[in-house]
């Protein structure tokens, strides 16, 4: 709070746009100061329960204040419920939750936002900004989150689009909404065509995240099965790793200063489970979720060449993932972590490449 209030005010309030997550954090801090409740606790009976949203969590600062401007995790369906609340002018299931006048005030443009290097007619970041909402082209407005979380409300079409994704080009996804979804919306509704619904169900049932490219097996896998590697001193404080290969899966164990951690990787498939590995390297801001000790994970691996085994770990309660590349050279191992934000941004992962020596 002191850091926020110590920032110089460079422009007269209301005259200049700046994206300011710190201000949203301050709103959270104010609510906690006045009510004695965290923002999450305050909103549960007032917003989340009326919308039948549960299992949400929110990151906190070192003083236990919900971060406000980032770090709230809910399901994609819950994002859609929030959009529906605003589409219906503050009502949900016949109950008024927000004043209609507030919805109007919050979603109109109060100041022109700064865009990118595109023409205003092609840029959804140059349509104006409200109270936590961006105005969009086509008469819509949206809330959005870093790298591809969207709650798009289209009043003219009586429609909400909720998207959870990870991308380096957020405008491109909005372009797909305007170019492909919007033109197909029918003012008269969609007929209950059983054949079309069956085709859609078949298509939805076939969708899957891509597996790690490569082969599920290698001659080296049997030689590395059950082997342990001792790692040179490193800032991640990882001391040992080991591999167990079998048909359809690989058990990868990591030992660090907090103990041993297991990730079960599918070979040619995804294995879904829990891990107590830290997700901190994946976060945009290093603020934790209170009490989070285990994280849901979907993992798979493949041999990208004869001596390199690569794993993909998707932390499925976030939009992020990371790859772990293991290169074997005789008795030596090279271990490289790369988070998805570095992959899509074509930047270097801040974690060092680790080296290890075969011990058993």
Ramachandran quadrant class, 78 (left: phi over 0; alpha: psi -120 to 50; beta: rest): alpha
CB 78 within 8 A of CB 47: no
- Whole-angstrom Cα Rg for the chain: 24
Distances (CA, A) of 109 to 135, 197, 292: 7, 39, 38
Q: What pLDDT score was predicted for residue 184? A: 87
Q: What pLDDT score was predicted for residue 117? A: 83
Measured distance CA(227)–CA(359) in Å, rounded: 7
Q: What pLDDT score was predicted for residue 213? A: 96
Q: What pLDDT score was predicted for residue 188? A: 66
pLDDT in tens, 117-146: 889 999 999 999 999 999 999 999 999 998
Does pLDDT of 174 surpass 80? Answer: yes
Whole-number average pLDDT of the chain: 94
Identify the CATH assignment for 219-358 out of 2.40.128.20, 3.40.50.970, 3.40.50.10470, 3.40.640.10.
Answer: 2.40.128.20
pLDDT band per the 50, 70, 90 thresholds, residue 187 = low
Which residues in 242-253 are b (16+ Cβ under 10 Å) and which e?
bbbbeeebbbbe
Over residues 21-39, mean pLDDT: 97
User: Percentage of the chain with pLDDT > 90?
Assistant: 84
- How would you class 291 by CB atoms within 10 Å of its CB: exposed for 0-12, middle for 13-18, buried for 19 or more? exposed
H or E element at residue 104: helix 100-107
Does pLDDT of 29 surpass 80? Answer: yes
Q: Is residue 190 helix, strand or coil?
A: coil
> Hey, what CATH topology would domain 2-187 get?
Beta-lactamase (3.40.710)
Over residues 39-58, mean pLDDT: 97
CB 265 within 8 A of CB 301: yes
pLDDT in tens, 193-221: 888 889 989 999 999 999 999 999 999 99
The ranges assigned to domains in the chain are 2-187, 219-358
Measured distance CA(350)–CA(338) in Å, rounded: 8
Q: Is residue 34 helix, strand or coil?
A: helix
Measured distance CA(325)–CA(333) in Å, rounded: 10
Angle formed at CA 121 by CA 115 and CA 123, multiple of 5 degrees: 30
CB 76 within 8 A of CB 162: yes
Q: Which of 263, 343, 357, 354 is nearest to 301 (CA)?
A: 263
335 versus 192: the higher-pLDDT residue is 335
pLDDT band per the 50, 70, 90 thresholds, residue 167 = very high
Q: What pLDDT score was predicted for residue 252? A: 97
CB 263 within 8 A of CB 274: no
- Measure the N-to-C terminal CA separation of the chain; round to a whole number of Å: 52
Ramachandran quadrant class, 3 (left: phi over 0; alpha: psi -120 to 50; beta: rest): alpha
Q: What pLDDT score was predicted for residue 114? A: 81
Measured distance CA(140)–CA(161) in Å, rounded: 11
pLDDT band per the 50, 70, 90 thresholds, residue 279 = confident
Per the DSSP assignment, residues forming a β-bridge with 325 are: 310, 336
Angle formed at CA 351 by CA 319 and CA 287, multiple of 5 degrees: 50
Does pLDDT of 298 surpass 90? Answer: yes
266 versus 192: the higher-pLDDT residue is 266
Ramachandran quadrant class, 109 (left: phi over 0; alpha: psi -120 to 50; beta: rest): beta
């Amino acid at each position: 709070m002191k850091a926020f209030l110590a920032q110089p005010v460079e422009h007269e309030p209301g005259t200049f746009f700046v994206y300011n997550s710190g201000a949203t954090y301050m709103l959270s801090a104010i609510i906690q100061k006045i009510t004695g409740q965290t923002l999450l606790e305050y909103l549960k009976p007032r917003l989340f329960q009326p919308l039948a949203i549960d299992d949400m969590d929110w990151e906190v600062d070192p003083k236990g204040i919900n971060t406000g401007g980032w770090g709230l995790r809910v399901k994609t369906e819950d994002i859609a419920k929030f959009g529906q609340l605003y589409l219906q002018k503050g009502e949900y299931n016949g109950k008024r939750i927000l004043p209609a006048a507030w919805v109007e005030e919050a979603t109109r443009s109060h100041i022109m936002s700064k865009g990118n290097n595109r023409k205003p007619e092609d840029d959804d970041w140059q349509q104006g900004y409200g109270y936590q909402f961006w105005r969009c082209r086509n008469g819509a407005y949206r809330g959005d989150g870093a790298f591809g979380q969207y709650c798009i409300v289209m009043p003219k079409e009586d429609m909400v689009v909720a998207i959870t994704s990870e991308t380096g080009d957020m405008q491109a996804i909005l372009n797909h909404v305007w170019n492909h979804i919007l033109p197909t919306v029918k003012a008269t509704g969609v007929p209950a065509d059983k054949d079309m619904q069956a085709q859609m169900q078949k298509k939805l049932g076939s969708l899957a995240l891509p597996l790690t490219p490569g082969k599920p097996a290698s001659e080296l896998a049997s030689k590395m099965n059950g082997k342990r590697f001792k790692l040179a001193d490193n800032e991640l404080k990882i001391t040992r790793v080991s591999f167990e290969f079998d048909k359809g899966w690989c058990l990868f164990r990591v030992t660090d200063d907090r103990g041993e951690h297991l990730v079960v990787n599918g070979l040619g498939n995804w294995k879904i489970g829990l891990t107590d590995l830290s997700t901190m390297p994946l976060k945009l801001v290093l603020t934790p979720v209170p009490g989070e000790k285990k994280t849901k994970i979907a993992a798979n691996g493949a041999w990208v060449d004869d001596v390199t085994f690569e794993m993909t770990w998707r932390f499925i309660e976030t939009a992020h993932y990371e790859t772990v590349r293991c290169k074997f050279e005789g008795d030596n191992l090279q271990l490289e972590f790369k988070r998805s934000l570095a992959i899509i941004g074509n930047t270097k992962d801040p974690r060092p490449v680790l080296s290890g020596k075969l011990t058993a």
